[in-house]
C-alpha cells in the first residue's frame, strides 16, 4: 500500500508560513525524537533558509535514549542549529527553549526588540503541547490525532518572545515509503490514509530486527517468530484478538501492536538512526 496524506488545509499552511517567515528571527522545529528525519518536512527547511533553528526532539521519553543522544550530536554539527530532547508537557524542560532563542538571536528579546519565533512541524509531533507549556496555559488545541491545529495564531509569552503557531505541515508527495511507514507507525498519518495491517507488519519486522528483547518481554515470547506476520499472529492469540473459530483477528492484533508501540509500552524505541536512514531520506 502506498501512503499519501495531504489534507487541504496544509496547502494553506504552507502559504501562511511563507508569508510570515521573513518576519521571524528563529524557527523552532518540533520533531518526533523516534524519527527525527522522517518527521522533518523538507519544505520547512527550504522556507526557513539560513534562519537559526532549534530542533526540538519531542517525545524523547518514548525514544531510545542512546539513539537520541546520537541525533542531538548529529544536528548540533549543522550551522545555526541547536537540538534538544524533551517532553513537551514538562515545563522545566521546555524552559530551555526561550534561553536558546536568546542565545541564537542575542540582539532580540530585549525591551523594544521583540524576539519573533515560529513553531513548525508535521502533524502530531506535539507543537501545540509545547506552546501551551511555554505559555503556561492552554493557548493551542491539543489532541492525540493529527491535524488538530488548522489555522495560524500569534502568542505573546510576555517575556520578550512572540510565538507564531502554524498548522502541522506534511509534504504532498511522500516518495520515500519507508519514511511514510515510519510516520504511520508513530501516529502522524491519518487513519483514512493507512492500512493498519500493513503498517503493523512494517513495525513488527523493524522491532524484530532491533528490539527483540523488549518485544519478547512485553508479549512473553519464549522465542522470536520467524516472520512479522507470525509475530502479529502470536500477539493476537496471547491478547485474545480472536474471531469466530479461534482465528486471529489480524486488524485487532495490528491495532493493538501499534497502540502499545506508540504508548511506549514495548519500551523506548527509535524508528531510525543517524547514518543510513539520513542517507536514505536524502535520496527522495
For residue 64, give every residue at least 6 positions away whose Cβ sits within 8 Å of its Cβ, in sequence order, or none. Answer: 268, 269, 270
Amino acid 86: pLDDT: 93
Does domain 9-165 fall under CATH 3.40.50.300? My reply is: yes
Q: Which residues of 43-69 are buried (b: 16+ CB within 10 A; e: fewer)?
A: bbeebbeebbbbbbbbbbebbbeebbe
Q: How far apart are CA 76 and CA 71, in angstroms?
A: 8
The reply to whether 9-165 and 195-282 are identical in fold is: no
153-156 and 161-165 strand pairing: antiparallel
Per-residue pLDDT 10s for the chain (284 aa) are 666 555 555 566 677 778 888 889 999 999 999 999 999 877 787 888 889 999 999 999 999 999 999 999 999 999 999 999 999 888 888 889 999 999 999 988 777 789 999 998 887 888 888 988 988 876 554 444 433 343 457 888 888 898 888 765 655 456 778 988 999 999 888 777 789 999 999 999 999 999 999 999 999 999 999 999 999 999 999 999 999 888 999 999 999 999 999 999 999 999 999 986 665 654 44
The pLDDT value recorded for residue 142 is: 42
Quick one: pLDDT at residue 190? 76
Q: Does domain 195-282 have CATH number 1.10.1580.10?
A: yes
Domain locations in the chain as residue ranges? 9-165, 195-282
pLDDT value of residue 141: 46
Name which of 118, 114, 106 is nearest 54 in CA terms. Answer: 118
pTM for the complete prediction? 0.85
Q: What is the pLDDT of residue 35?
A: 95
Q: How far is Cα 270 from Cα 37, in angstroms, rounded to an integer?
A: 11
d(CA 219, CA 100): 42
pLDDT of residue 144: 42
Amino acid at each position: 500500500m502506498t501512503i499519501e496524506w495531504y489534507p487541504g488545509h496544509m496547502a494553506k499552511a504552507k502559504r501562511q508560513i511563507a508569508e510570515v517567515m521573513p518576519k521571524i528571527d528563529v524557527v523552532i522545529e518540533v520533531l518526533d525524537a523516534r524519527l527525527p528525519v522522517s518527521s522533518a518536512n523538507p519544505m520547512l527547511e527550504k522556507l526557513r533558509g539560513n534562519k537559526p533553528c532549534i530542533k526540538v526532539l519531542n517525545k524523547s521519553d518514548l525514544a531510545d535514549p542512546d539513539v537520541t543522544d546520537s541525533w542531538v550530536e548529529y544536528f548540533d554539527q549543522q550551522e545555526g542549529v541547536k537540538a534538544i530532547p524533551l517532553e513537551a508537557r514538562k515545563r522545566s524542560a521546555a524552559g530551555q527553549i526561550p534561553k536558546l532563542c536568546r542565545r541564537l538571536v542575542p540582539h532580540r528579546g530585549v525591551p523594544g526588540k521583540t524576539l519573533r519565533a515560529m513553531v513548525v512541524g508535521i502533524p502530531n509531533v506535539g507543537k501545540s503541547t509545547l506552546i501551551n507549556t511555554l505559555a503556561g496555559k492552554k493557548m493551542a488545541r491539543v489532541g492525540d490525532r493529527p491535524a488538530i491545529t488548522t489555522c495560524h495564531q500569534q502568542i505573546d509569552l510576555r517575556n520578550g518572545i512572540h510565538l507564531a503557531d502554524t498548522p502541522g505541515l506534511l509534504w504532498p508527495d511522500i516518495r520515500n515509503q519507508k519514511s511514510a511507514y515510519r510516520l504511520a507507525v508513530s501516529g502522524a498519518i491519518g487513519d483514512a490514509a493507512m492500512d493498519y495491517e500493513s503498517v503493523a507488519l512494517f513495525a513488527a519486522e523493524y522491532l524484530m530486527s532491533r528490539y527483540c528483547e523488549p518485544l519478547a518481554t512485553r508479549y512473553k515470547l519464549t522465542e522470536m517468530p520467524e516472520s512479522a506476520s507470525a509475530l502479529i499472529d502470536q500477539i493476537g492469540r496471547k491478547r485474545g484478538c480472536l474471531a469466530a473459530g479461534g482465528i486471529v483477528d489480524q486488524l485487532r492484533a495490528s491495532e493493538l501492536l501499534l497502540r502499545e508501540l506508540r504508548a511506549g509500552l514495548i519500551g523506548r524505541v527509535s524508528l531510525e538512526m543517524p547514518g543510513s536512514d539520513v542517507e536514505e531520506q536524502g535520496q527522495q
